[in-house]
Amino acid sequence: MNDLLPGAVERWQHLEATVHRVLAAYGYREIRLPIVEKTELFARSIGTHTDIVEKEMYTFEDRNHESLTLRPEGTAGCVRAGIENGLLHNQVQRLWYGGPMFRHERPQKGRYRQFHQIGVEAFGMEGPDVDAELILMNARLWRALGIDELVLQLNSLGTPQARAAYREQLVRYLESRRDELDEDSRQRLAKNPLRVLDGKNPAMQEVIAGAPSLLDHLDEASRRHFEGVRATLDAAGVRYAINPRLVRGLDYYTRTVFEWTSERLGAQSAVCAGGRYDGLVEQLGGKSAPAAGFALGLERLAELLSVPAAVAAEASPQVYLALPGSDAERPGLLLAERLRDGGLRVECHCGGGGLKAQLKRADRSGARFALLLGDEELAKHCVAVKDLRTDAPQHLVAQDAAADYLKQRLSASA
């Protein structure tokens, strides 16, 4: 679980603001959800035999001996909230949420126990158009963030019925090669055979490559749905790779699933993943409603991001007001207020000290200008303006005119 310090936070703010802007451009609205949910919600949605539910949840009993869990993802809670608040039945909803998620995984670069997602869920739309729109929205977001290296992998898991038939074939195949399976795959074979396809052990890759392909076993309606998604992506010029082994680590998916990955991130390469989950609303007690969505991994996206200089600069004050004068504190605070009234970002020196120490702090603040309010300036209702970033000579300005003067200098050099 990481602390996020000033300096890194600005990158996150830029990331989040850009995501919010793109989501709004597609009509998505924010929903705020609790971080803690009943444990059974996750078992019922993500699936009892998934790594998340079996090994990774932060689960505890509260004072009433109720089993609660820090959310490992947001889809389950979003569906629960949608059902409880009557948002889903016979309605179209485009929702997003953000915040921390918790998984007790083995930490490594890009994989943390508290991490952050922005998740997007679209309810009430069953056609392939919305699956494609979610992906177009991703592509627009990458453009807005200046990230151009992401690769899209796409698959269809079909309906649960078609998947059950495929599962039988897969089990037969895996049983026939049981001697070659590693321990993890044997366990998965017993509990959740599709997950064997997701195995990362290099020694397993040949067995996995030889497995029958789920895409060859799609039901007719899912096959047409998948074609629809692909046709729209083709028409929009979004490139993708079909990956028949993409099965996802959560059990609620039906039909379309996708992941965006970057080679720059090492083993934890997925920055965004999602898909369709038409059965989940009903499974959690609502009236059946189609749904699809994705979640962005913010730690991983932040890693790929370079913040434009203009955006980064906004994190620093423009002006540092130094107060070397003997009675300068109160007039200084009041002058700083007036400068802020004029629209400037001002850090006002507090705590006294000599001019040299104050200028050192001014420099460290990142401000472009230091203003000096000494005894002489106080007496004349002036302030001295020192450019901290160039050799320009110091300049005396009337306090009344200071805000306009500074804004002019700032815009002249912008």
Query: Residues at the annotated binding site?
Result: 73-75, 103, 117, 121, 248, 252-253
Residues 325-364 contacting ligand HAM, CB under 6 A: none
Question: Interacting stretch for ligand HAM, rule CB under 6 A, among 31-39, 271-279, 330-338, 372-380?
Answer: 271-279
Tell me if 305 contacts ligand HAM by CB under 6 A.
no
Residues 112-131 contacting ligand HAM, CB under 6 A: 112, 115, 117, 119, 121
Binder of ligand HAM out of 74, 193, 199, 286 (CB under 6 A): 74
Q: What is the C-alpha to C-alpha distance for residues 302 and 307, in angstroms, rounded to an integer?
A: 9
DSSP state of 245: T
Binder of ligand HAM out of 290, 293, 317, 324 (CB under 6 A): 293
Q: What residues are paired with 258 via a beta bridge? A: 154, 274
- Parallel, antiparallel, or unpaired for β 58-61 and 291-297? unpaired
- Parallel, antiparallel, or unpaired for β 346-348 and 319-322? parallel
CA dihedral 364, 365, 368, 370 (to 10 degrees): -90
Measured from the CB atom, the residue of 117 and 185 that comes closer to ligand HAM is 117
Q: What value, to the nearest 5°, has the Cα angle with vertex 19 and ends 17 and 22?
A: 110
CB under 8 Å, gap of 24 or more: what pairs does 276-280 form? 276/131, 277/75, 277/252, 277/253, 278/126, 278/254, 279/160, 279/252, 279/254, 280/45, 280/75, 280/76, 280/79, 280/252
Tokens for 375, please give them.
């005894």
Taking the complex as a whole, the smallest distance from the CB of residue 100 to ligand HAM amounts, in Å, to 10
Binder of ligand HAM out of 20, 49, 104, 111 (CB under 6 A): 111
Measured from the CB atom, the residue of 182 and 198 that comes closer to ligand HAM is 198
Binder of ligand HAM out of 37, 73, 347, 377 (CB under 6 A): 73
Measured from the CB atom, the residue of 111 and 223 that comes closer to ligand HAM is 111
Q: Are 128 and 232 in contact (CB under 8 A)?
A: yes
Taking the complex as a whole, the smallest distance from the CB of residue 217 to ligand HAM amounts, in Å, to 22
Positions at the binding site for L-histidine: 73-75, 103, 117, 121, 248, 252-253
Taking the complex as a whole, the smallest distance from the CB of residue 262 to ligand HAM amounts, in Å, to 10
Taking the complex as a whole, the smallest distance from the CB of residue 103 to ligand HAM amounts, in Å, to 5
Tell me if 75 contacts ligand HAM by CB under 6 A.
yes
* Residues present in the chain in total: 414
Question: Interacting stretch for ligand HAM, rule CB under 6 A, among 90-98, 144-152, 209-217, 265-273?
Answer: 265-273
Measured from the CB atom, the residue of 147 and 315 that comes closer to ligand HAM is 147
Measured from the CB atom, the residue of 278 and 299 that comes closer to ligand HAM is 299
Binder of ligand HAM out of 98, 124, 274, 286 (CB under 6 A): 274
Measured from the CB atom, the residue of 265 and 367 that comes closer to ligand HAM is 265
Q: Are 322 and 158 in contact (CB under 8 A)?
A: no
Q: Which residue is nearest to ligand HAM (CB)?
A: 297
CA dihedral 167, 290, 293, 213 (to 10 degrees): 20
Taking the complex as a whole, the smallest distance from the CB of residue 156 to ligand HAM amounts, in Å, to 15
Tell me if 103 contacts ligand HAM by CB under 6 A.
yes
Taking the complex as a whole, the smallest distance from the CB of residue 185 to ligand HAM amounts, in Å, to 20
Q: What residues are paired with 118 via a beta bridge? A: 98, 296
With 0-12 / 13-18 / 19 or more C-beta atoms within 10 angstroms meaning exposed / middle / buried, residue 150 is buried
Q: What is the C-alpha to C-alpha distance for residues 118 and 95, in angstroms, rounded to an integer?
A: 11
Tokens for 147, please give them.
């990230």
Taking the complex as a whole, the smallest distance from the CB of residue 192 to ligand HAM amounts, in Å, to 15
SS3 of 319, please?
Answer: strand
Q: What is the C-alpha to C-alpha distance for residues 300 and 384, in angstroms, rounded to an integer?
A: 45
- Parallel, antiparallel, or unpaired for β 114-123 and 93-102? antiparallel
Would you tell me the crossing angle of helices 329-341 and 399-413 to the nearest 10 degrees? Answer: 50
Taking the complex as a whole, the smallest distance from the CB of residue 153 to ligand HAM amounts, in Å, to 11
Q: Are 298 and 268 in contact (CB under 8 A)?
A: no
Tokens for 413, please give them.
């050099």
Tokens for 303, please give them.
């890693």
Binder of ligand HAM out of 57, 295, 372, 403 (CB under 6 A): 295
Tell me if 258 contacts ligand HAM by CB under 6 A.
no
Question: Interacting stretch for ligand HAM, rule CB under 6 A, among 226-234, 281-289, 295-303, 327-335?
Answer: 295-303
CA 367 to chain centre: 30
Chain residues binding ligand HAM by CB under 6 A are 73-75, 103, 105, 110-112, 115, 117, 119, 121, 249-250, 270-275, 293-295, 297, 299-300
